[in-house]
Amino acid sequence: MIPFLSPDKTNRSVTKIYEDYRFAFFLWLAVTLIFVIDSWITNRLNNYLIFENTFRNLINQQSFYDLYPDFHEDANHYGPIFSLIVAPFAALPNWLGLLFWNLFNCIFLFKAVQTLPVSQKDRLIFCYIAIPCLIESMLNQQFNAAAGALIILNYTQLNKVKGFYAAMFMVLGIFVKLYGIVGLAFFFFCKHKSRYILYSLFWALVFFMLPMLFSSPLFVTDSYFDWFVSLTHKNATNVSGEGIDMSIMGFFRELFHTPILTNSICIGVGALLFMIPYLNYKCFKKKRFQLLILSSALLFPILFSTGAEDCTFIISIAGVGIWYVLEKDRLLKNILLPVLLITACNFPLLFFPEFSKSHRIMLSMLSFPYFLVWIRVLYKAFMYKKIFKHDDEPMATQENLLLNI
């Protein structure tokens, strides 16, 4: 047999390829480019056009949240600072701007995952698990991948440079899409809490005032009020059935036919469950405990947001990846993960769009496997001392695992 074609060497080569983070990165870039090309061919750029139009609205002092049928369908729902994030892309021709916009979101999330304080093998698992959700995100030209990266970086940078950059990532996430507020969950892990508060106030002031350099203080201030009105209206639309609500709240409303199950009740119960693991205050310095809280923080805002769509679960899939590498029950992993990844592809909407839209539970059921993962994560965090009897070293000794961006 020819030596270099022997089965053993071939298998080893294949194994090495799949274990190389560059191969995973190549797959992410390939997915991104495929769906950029698809958007070019089908001339389906609507979401990107919504985004790039925000910078034009900032300059012209026109509402960020009005409808502009001459430019795009639907309306923007991001904060004023978002107009500056998209500005470099808006300066390019739309076809080129879309390319770099999707590449930015793809690379930003990939690099954020590389900062997680786990082994390179575990990071690769995250990357492969995320591919179905990455497809949805790139297909819809969304900012959600970057929003997930901001949450991850908020945690991984928390105890570096005295929390300065961690505060920046958290506040930016809040000012863009509100999801970043879950970064407050990491406050108890911070070494310099008073400094972290000051840094957060500093960045809040910076991000509030920065758009004013390109517009006017009055316009930007009024835009925050308009943003609140826009989000309130969108929430009412989704709950009423006119929009798409893929949250776990929408799932239970449809399952039990109980429209009276209001968001405030669901979010209140969810927040209470979210806080239960914090009873283990003696575990705050444990790396695995912190990772479980990060997993919960990545899952929670999508599960309990009426604005959740299939493309927003790219944020939560990183939380699923963390659960997967920390989970010791192989049977649970082998059953729950495939079900979750299959539902993540949203086959009902793909193959039966009209039927799915008229039977909303077909859409909201996407959130249920994520909900099961979240409950399992909360259980593991709450029962931490029993599950992780031989725990890892405190987080302070693991800082060498954190990579610089």
| pLDDT 10s digits, 40-72 | 999 989 999 999 999 999 999 999 999 999 888
Q: Is the pLDDT of residue 132 over 50?
A: yes
For the segment 138-162, the average pLDDT, to the nearest whole number, is 90
Look at residue 240 in the predicted model and tell me its pLDDT: 63
Q: Where are the domains of the chain?
A: 12-398
**CA dist 273 to 68, 187, 297, Å?**
41, 18, 12
Task: Name the pLDDT band for 175 (thresholds 50, 70, 90).
Answer: very high
* CA 325 vs CA 123, 162, 288, 372: distances in Å: 9, 28, 10, 16
Query: CA 321, CA 342: separation in Å to the nearest integer?
Result: 15
352-375 per-position pLDDT tens digit? 566 566 666 777 788 899 999 999
Residue 394's beta-bridge partner residues? Answer: 286
Task: Determine the pLDDT at residue 90.
Answer: 95
Distances (CA, A) of 119 to 23, 125, 126, 147: 16, 10, 11, 23
The pLDDT value given to residue 160: 73
Residue-level pLDDT at 8: 45
Residue 243: pLDDT band (50, 70, 90) is: low
Mean pLDDT of 76-100: 96
- The least confident of 77-91, 114-128, 251-265 is 251-265
State the pLDDT confidence band at 10, using cuts at 50, 70 and 90.
very low
pLDDT recorded at residue 399: 41
Q: Which residue has the higher pLDDT, 348 or 94?
A: 94
Q: Is the dihedral of CA 93, 95, 100, 104 positive or negative?
A: positive
**The CA-based dihedral angle spanning residues 37, 40, 44, 47, taken in that order and rounded to the nearest 10 degrees:** 80
Residue 106 has pLDDT above 70, yes or no: yes
Q: What is the DSSP letter of 78?
A: S
Candidate from 8-12, 22-26, 309-313, 373-377 with smallest mean pLDDT: 8-12
Cα–Cα distance between 298 and 316 in angstroms, integer? Answer: 5
Residues 6+ apart with CB under 8 A from 1: none
- Dihedral in degrees, nearest 10, Cα atoms 192, 197, 198, 200: 120
Percent of the chain scoring above 70 in pLDDT: 85
Instruction: Provide the β-strand partners of residue 286.
Output: 394
DSSP conformation letters of 268-329:
HHHHHHHHGGGG-GGGTTBHHHHHHHHHHHHHHHHHT-TT--GGGHHHHHHHHHHHHHH---
Provide the pLDDT confidence category of residue 259 given band limits of 50, 70 and 90: low
pLDDT at residue 153 is higher than 70 = yes
What tokens appear for 114 in the block?
């590389």
Tell me how far apart the alpha carbons of residues 284 and 188 are, in angstroms, rounded to a whole number: 7
**Region of poorest pLDDT, from 126-130, 249-253, 285-289, 334-338:** 249-253
